[in-house]
Amino acid sequence: MGLKAKVNAVLLRATGHRIVPVRRRAARPTTRQQPAPRPPVPVVPGDRLVETPVFILCSLRSGSTLLRVLLDSHPEIHAPHELHLRALNVRVRGRWARRSMQQLGLGPDGLRFLLWDRLLHRELARSGKKLIVDKTPNNVFVVDELLECWPDARFVFLLRHPAAIARSRARLRPADAHNVERIREYCEALEQARRAHPGHTVRYEELTVDPERVTRGLCAYLGVEWDERMLDYGAHDHGPYHAGLGDFADKIGKGRVQPADPPPADVPAPLRQIAAAWGYGPGIPAADTPATPKADTAS
């Protein structure tokens, strides 16, 4: 008799129980199935109160707040603080509400897009202007959804030397050990959008060197006349400068365009590829404009 059998015999006489072997569950496969692509949200007449919004696609710390206040100083352009559409969702509770919305042809995405559009229309109506621009950096991660909501949306691609972006982020958030990786994610998403969709490219370095020329080109792309009041953005009320709403460093509060700091001599390894793709390579000054994808209109 083996040891296990002897132990079982003793337990059975003493307690009336015996050891039952534990059956191990088969390991589940580790590969996950890719979710099925969701069907596009149908847009029916009346769904969109805003037809051609403009989105500044950019990384964090790339000068988007400066570009926002310059545009917002134009009498026909409203560029509010960051709207964070990506984080705005609609939840339908209860099967009867879900059935009701399905009967209307409105799933969660359709309802969310109605919310996005209503928010932009509210801001535009309050401003009394004719064109709205949203510059929230995390829009680079929902470009396809923006176009699904507004098929005629327009894009402005704001570029800055990636090493300068990372340095700016590190100065503002010195405790964040993932600054470079975070900037890489934003820059790569921006480059992907830039290659996939038409738009107008603006370089932060050029904007700080010659703001009139750059804003003139941008106004031509947006279909409005250039206005010299754009350059004196400090003479206009653009709301508070707070974290989560845009840049809140001292430079933006000067009221006039300030020169950009020279880019760092060294580019962190994770940012070298995107820096080269944007033309910020060895021997190329930061303000020079390299060849851009065919879909772009360079400033």
Instruction: Kindly tell me if the per-residue pLDDT of 294 is higher than 50.
Output: no
Q: What is the pLDDT of residues 247-261, one digit of tens each?
A: 555 565 566 677 788
Whether the CB-CB separation of 169 and 176 falls below 8 Å is answered with yes
Instruction: Kindly tell me if the per-residue pLDDT of 214 is higher than 50.
Output: yes
Whether the CB-CB separation of 296 and 201 falls below 8 Å is answered with yes
Whether the CB-CB separation of 236 and 73 falls below 8 Å is answered with yes
From the CB of residue 90, how many other CB atoms can be counted at a distance below 10 Å? 16
Cut 0.85: pTM above it: no
Q: How far apart are the first and last CA of the chain?
A: 88
pLDDT at position 261 is 84
Q: What is the pLDDT of residues 165-185, one digit of tens each?
A: 999 888 878 878 789 999 999
Residue 18 binned pLDDT confidence (cut-offs 50, 70, 90): low
Dihedrals φ, ψ of 186, to 5°? Answer: -65, -45
CA dihedral over 261, 271, 191, 49, signed as positive or negative:
negative
Residue 74 to residues 78, 79, 106, 146, 256: CA-CA distances in angstroms?
Answer: 8, 9, 37, 24, 15
Instruction: Kindly tell me if the per-residue pLDDT of 102 is higher than 80.
Output: yes
- Fold that domain 51-87+130-298 belongs to in CATH: Rossmann fold (3.40.50)
Instruction: Kindly tell me if the per-residue pLDDT of 292 is higher than 50.
Output: no
pLDDT at position 5 is 63
Strands 154-159 and 77-78: unpaired
Paired tokens of 128: 């009394």
If you average pLDDT over every residue of the chain, what do you get? 82
Residues contacting 102, CB < 8 A, separation 6+:
none
Instruction: Kindly tell me if the per-residue pLDDT of 238 is higher than 90.
Output: no
The residue with greater pLDDT, 177 or 186, is 186
The residue with greater pLDDT, 158 or 29, is 158
Domain boundaries, the chain: 51-87+130-298
Residue 215 to residues 104, 144, 223: CA-CA distances in angstroms?
Answer: 43, 27, 12
